[in-house]
Amino acid sequence: MTDPTELATLSGDAQEWTLEELEGALLPAHAREKGGRDTIFAWLAHYQQAKATGQDAINGTVGSLLEDDGTLAVNPVVSSTLREQADLELSAYAPLPGLPHFRTLVQELALGDGLPIMQHHGIHTEALITPGGTGALYQSARNLLTSGTTLLLRDRHWGPYQTIAKECGLLTATWPLTPSSGDDQIDVEALDGVLKQLLNEQNHVLSWLNDPAHNPTGMSLTAESRMIVLERFANSALANPSKGVTLFIDGAYAAYAKDHHGWGDTLALFASEALWPSNLFVCFGFSASKSHTLYGQRCGALVMLHPSREFLDRMLEVMLHTGRGTWSGAARLPQATVHTIHSNVDKFVDWLHERDLLQQMLERRREIFNHRCAKEGVPLLPSHDGYFAFLPHENPGPIAEASATRGLYVVPLEGGIRIGLCSIPTQDVDRAAAILAEAWRHGA
């Protein structure tokens, strides 16, 4: 047995080590590269501190929908249905792919009336449960690219995309959010160029596209723009028949877009009119966080589309292997809750009514904000749907600081300021826009 005096000596020795020495001894190189506090949560903390000291502060930092009194917006039909679930649903494991009825339902929630049309035209579909929409993103990154290759993102994307990519050992490239000139939404030349470059350099392309109600801008693609994007990926697949091309549509905010199932309609039209290349794989990331206000229940799904049923069966095996080795299994309770709501006509009608009220609140806030910013000459990016608006700027930090001193807390990101309309009370939106305008002029 070790002498206690020797243990004390060892303990004292450890306390004399610097943090750098401890990291060098205990952490491998890839772990030492990690760190940094999430910018969004840091600015939320700034707001909370200001509020605690008595400032008449406005919270434009968070990515959750808040009521006008500042409390979390919760669909009461969802919360009551969750509490009504049987003990089995509360406590039992779910099957690894998810509850069968949930897996069928989530395809309908993701793709709407377009689902039976594309199935009629030979496109097969499959779905599996994931812990939130982020789990679906992780599944695709882990399995559809090789470590050291490049993930394609749209510019001005959600920051944790980069975190997921890094965890999977991936680099990232981007295509422009909008063209440098003109009124079109898609810079076709730039998108074609980056797809060609990636397919010259690697055997697989995976692109994440957050649409509709894009985070952080609130932009949504039109039906024409959606088809242009889909055609560019299909053409790239046709031109490179030995390589894999995957378009992953991140529909986390689709429930609060004017066109909830736009991508389902576009995919159905494409399936009925065009050749779907065998090396084109389309995925849709579903999240119940926003649509069903189940943020903390971590309920999402990966919906997969392809002409080959056999391939989808194989992909399900691959994805389940990753899920088992990462989070084991996803929660049963939220799956059962969502299915209960959508299989009961009265509950569904009540859920839809409550969801529409939340969407109308968001639309009113956006209308007020966009109108005041236009009046003040603030050059927001186009903001159509969902939770956010975005002010582009090469040096956003001073603008965020200037806003905070005036009582508005927003999030400075690379390339601009994200404004969380989801968290600003309707009665404060006009004042928030006026503060942002003043801060922007101060920092411009």
Among 355, 427, 423, which residue's Cα sits nearest to residue 388? 423
Helix (H), strand (E), coil (C) string for the chain: CCCHHHHHHHHHHHHCCCHHHHHHHHCCHHHHCCCCCCHHHHHHHHHHHHHHCCCCCEECCCCCCECCCCCECCCHHHHHHHHCCCHHHHHCCCCCCCCHHHHHHHHHHHHCCHHHHHHHCCCEEEEEEECHHHHHHHHHHHHHCCCCCEEEEECCCCCHHHHHHHHCCCEEEEECCCCCCCCCCCCHHHHHHHHHHHHHHCCEEEEEEECCCCCCCCCCCCHHHHHHHHHHHHHHHHHCCCCEEEEEEECCCHHHCCCCCHHHHHHHHHHHHCCCCCCEEEEEEEEHHHHCCCHHHCCEEEEEEECCHHHHHHHHHHHHHHHHHHCCCCCCHHHHHHHHHHCCHHHHHHHHHHHHHHHHHHHHHHHHHHHHHHHHCCCCCCCCCCCEEEEECCCHHHHHHHHHHCCEECEEECCEEEEEHHHCCHHHHHHHHHHHHHHHHHHC
Report residue 199's pLDDT band, with 50, 70 and 90 as the boundaries.
Answer: very high
What percent of the chain shows pLDDT beyond 90?
85
Q: Could you tell me the residue ranges of all domains in the chain?
A: 39-75+347-443, 94-343
Tokens of 335: 């799956």
Contacting residues for 340 by C-beta, under 8 A, at least 6 apart: 81, 84, 85, 347
CA 418 to CA 143: how far, in whole Å? Answer: 31
CA 233 to CA 292: how far, in whole Å? Answer: 31
CA 246 to CA 311: how far, in whole Å? Answer: 14
Of 28-37, 161-170, 298-307, the range with the lowest mean pLDDT is: 28-37
Q: What pLDDT, on the 0 to 100 scale, is given for residue 39?
A: 83
Of 39 and 98, the structure prediction assigns the larger pLDDT to 98
Q: What pLDDT, on the 0 to 100 scale, is given for residue 40?
A: 85
Topology of the domain covering 39-75+347-443: Aspartate Aminotransferase, domain 1 (3.90.1150)
pLDDT one-digit tens code per residue, 238-253: 999 999 999 999 999 9
Report residue 9's pLDDT band, with 50, 70 and 90 as the boundaries.
Answer: low
Q: What pLDDT, on the 0 to 100 scale, is given for residue 6?
A: 59
pLDDT one-digit tens code per residue, 14-59: 568 888 888 888 888 888 888 766 788 889 999 999 999 999 999 9
- For domain 94-343, which architecture applies? 3-Layer(aba) Sandwich (3.40)
Does residue 12 surpass a pLDDT of 90?
no
Q: What pLDDT, on the 0 to 100 scale, is given for residue 443?
A: 67
